[in-house]
Amino acid sequence: MDELSANAPLGILAVEHEGMVAECNEEACDLLGCAQSEVVGEDITVVFPDSIEATVASSFEGQLDRERSFEEYYPGLERWLAVSLVPTAEQVHLYVSDVTDSYRAKRRTERIRDDLNRVTILNELISDVLADLVDAAGREEIADTICRRLGETDLYEFAWVGERELGGDDLVVRAAAGRSGRTLEEIERCLADSTVPEHRAIDSGTSVVIQPIGDDERVAEPIRRAAFADGLQSLLAIPLTYGSSVYGVVGVYTAEQDAFSERERASFETVGEMAGFAINATRHRNLLLSDTVVELDLDISDPDAPFVRAATDADLILTVEGVVPQGEKLLCYVAVEGSPVDSVSHSLQSHPSVQQTRLIGEHETGGMFEVTLGARTPLGLLAASGVTISAADYRVGEGTVTIECSPAENVRRIIDAVSREYELTVLAKRERERDVTTAGEFRDALREELTDRQENALRTAFFADYFESPRGSNAQEVAEALDITGPTLLHHLRAGQRKLLAEFFDVTDDS
């Protein structure tokens, strides 16, 4: 072989027409993975590796009368080779080069393009879901919308929405869509044992990704089996959250491997938050829009309830004047009738479910406390179930709580949520028309309360943009306008604001 061919960066073999290899260069030996001595003198069909198409071998079996070029995969070498067969009068020349890298690059490009398509489709899908959520009228519609949108695309096999039963920790399937196969059946069967991945999402309030499902030991085996049989590879469980409330969970299942990247997970978390927000909004809308409300009087005299215990220990009367939910916690403003008020705070502070107490004010006949209750108290559980606590009164060994909820609300479930942990009896249930206060009535009621000086101070301050931010006028300027001192103005303003807010929050104000 001449020097030009011998040193070529291309595999070259010269083969007799009958198939015997006459000579070959070093590059050819490298490509074929054998020594020169193993090639020269041997039959090309034996020396050249196997491919499925076996074009080299078949070319020598027949008459090779024209040039042929092809690219084939050689599994034995794990390489793609580009081969040219050039017949001359005496011999056939083979030119061989390795094109594996370009094939792999092509494959990679295809994969990236597929990923990109997927992301585009997903983004459209998610914006559709969000648009639907805005219009959803109720909790069930929200669950249906999410399932339908996610379960009926080609991206995912199926989706289901689970919600916790109000009376307990068990999840129930609220909606499902797509090819749920045997997997959802097994999920339903396992719901009572809390071994479903969705449980973890709802407990922690954060999304859970499991991929592959088949060999993740944290998933109950019957579910894994069914998922494997159904060809499911990845799952994502997203909690439906609003603030610290978790309203439910969506489970999304797909046949794709490693389907849920950090990016997809983040997009879905937004869906979970939007859905939580929408569910929360519909609950309030139900309560606000209904003309009637259901009012329940509950007897919660369980000695373990913090306020019952405090009233008993101190032998005083406690009245909850208002409550403010703060995430899992509940802030209660409690009026104490009788003294000493210290004994109430001692009792409350020693209660494991009371996180904090603060004395707001004390007078001869009693005082006012701010009490931070944990979630697992009677009032905490009631507030978490979305009802309005309208009154709560406690005396020795006795507690009565009045709640309001929309007629659409399932009262039984709310009761169960509390009675699982505390003794509770329903004393009375009433359905009544909602109090409707017109703006005019509100103004009249307020006028009766406000003194002329207070109203004047409020009006002047308001029109002088004192309440704007930043202030249009400061207190000194408003006071000068009214020809009073600054401290006097602030006194009137505070008194006026207190009355305004008391009327707004519907609290009787005796001062």
How far is CA 436 from each of CA 234, 433, 439, 440, 450, rounded to the nearest angstrom?
52, 9, 10, 11, 22
Judged by beta carbon, residue 5 or residue 234, the one nearer other proteins is 234
Judged by beta carbon, residue 104 or residue 412, the one nearer other proteins is 104
Which of 408, 58, 384, 365 has the alpha carbon at shortest distance from 245?
384
The CB-of-75 to other proteins minimum distance in angstroms stands at: 4
The CB-of-60 to other proteins minimum distance in angstroms stands at: 12
The CB-of-233 to other proteins minimum distance in angstroms stands at: 7
Judged by beta carbon, residue 54 or residue 502, the one nearer other proteins is 54
The CB-of-73 to other proteins minimum distance in angstroms stands at: 5
How far is CA 407 from each of CA 165, 414, 441, 479, rounded to the nearest angstrom?
18, 12, 26, 50
How far is CA 509 from each of CA 404, 449, 451, 495, rounded to the nearest angstrom?
22, 9, 14, 11
Calpha distance 165→261 (Å, rounded): 31
The CB-of-63 to other proteins minimum distance in angstroms stands at: 18
The CB-of-403 to other proteins minimum distance in angstroms stands at: 49
Neighbours of 67 (CB within 10 A): 11
Q: Record the tokens describing residue 257, joined without a space.
A: 């491997």
**DSSP bridge partners of 124:** none
Task: Determine the Cα angle at 338 with ends 337 and 339, to 5°.
Answer: 135
Enumerate helices (H) and strands (E) in the chain, giving the number of each.
19, 18
Judged by beta carbon, residue 118 or residue 491, the one nearer other proteins is 118
Write the DSSP assignment of 23-83 as a string of letters.
EE-HHHHHHHTS-HHHHTTSBHHHHSPP-SS-HHHHHHHS---S-EEEEEEETTTTEEEEE
The CB-of-225 to other proteins minimum distance in angstroms stands at: 6
Residues 6+ apart with CB under 8 A from 351: 306, 309, 310
Judged by beta carbon, residue 215 or residue 291, the one nearer other proteins is 215
Judged by beta carbon, residue 31 or residue 146, the one nearer other proteins is 31
The CB-of-221 to other proteins minimum distance in angstroms stands at: 9
The CB-of-211 to other proteins minimum distance in angstroms stands at: 9
Residues 6+ apart with CB under 8 A from 40: 21, 22, 23, 24
Judged by beta carbon, residue 103 or residue 467, the one nearer other proteins is 103
DSSP annotation of 335 = E
User: Which residues of this chain interact with other proteins, rule CB under 8 A?
Assistant: 50-52, 54, 57, 73, 75-76, 78, 107, 114, 212, 214-215, 224-225, 228-231, 233, 255-257
Calpha distance 245→212 (Å, rounded): 29
Judged by beta carbon, residue 158 or residue 242, the one nearer other proteins is 158
Judged by beta carbon, residue 78 or residue 510, the one nearer other proteins is 78
Q: How many Å from the N-terminal Cα to the C-terminal Cα in the chain?
A: 115
How far is CA 359 from each of CA 368, 409, 501, rounded to the nearest angstrom?
6, 36, 21
